[in-house]
Amino acid sequence: MVIAKQIIAILCDDVREEIGNKISLMGIYDYNIVLPVLPAVLPKLCIYINMIDVSKDVTAFKVKVSVPGKDSPIEFNIPAQVNHDVPKKNARIMIALSPFKVTKIGEAKIELMVNEEMESLVVHKFSIMTPDQSNQSAGSEKV
């Protein structure tokens, strides 16, 4: 199911709403979250999701965050709110996980669902790793 022309998900250390309808994203993560040692606790992990040209009426969002070492995903139920500063067919979600505890390396993902539908749209997949795994994966990629 396609609900928007484009869906962008960004992981970062902090998200701030600024004066003038600006969003500031600090400490943006690339493809992976690389931590020096595990277990680790990040003071905050923020998720920014931007949907452009939403093609259906949305009354609510559900966001699921699945991380290695947790049996069930972290879930957020978010009612849709009208913001007159954002074009009508666009939507954005900002979530802060604080603190964010990490116990294992592995694959993680963020899923987005709209209204009461059970179908998940995988918005963003990423890996949690230590520098050793990061160096190994970087060496195996071809440019």
> With 50 as the cut, is the pLDDT of residue 142 above it?
no
Q: pLDDT tens-digit profile of 3-52?
A: 888 989 999 999 999 999 899 999 999 889 999 999 999 999 999 999 88
Least confident of 68-72, 91-95, 96-100, 137-141: 137-141
The pLDDT of residue 89 is 80
The pLDDT of residue 136 is 67
Q: pLDDT tens-digit profile of 121-131?
A: 778 899 999 99
Which CATH number does the domain housing residue 9 bear? 2.60.40.2550
Q: Which long-range contacts (CB under 8 A, 24 or more apart) does 97-100 make?
A: 97/44, 97/45, 97/46, 97/47, 97/65, 98/43, 98/44, 98/45, 99/41, 99/42, 99/43, 99/44, 100/41, 100/42, 100/43, 100/44, 100/45
Residue pointed to by tokens 């604080």: 98
The pLDDT of residue 4 is 85
Range of the structural domain that residue 54 is part of = 4-140
CB 120 within 8 A of CB 113: yes
Total structural domains within the chain: 1
Q: pLDDT tens-digit profile of 86-107?
A: 556 888 899 999 999 999 999 9
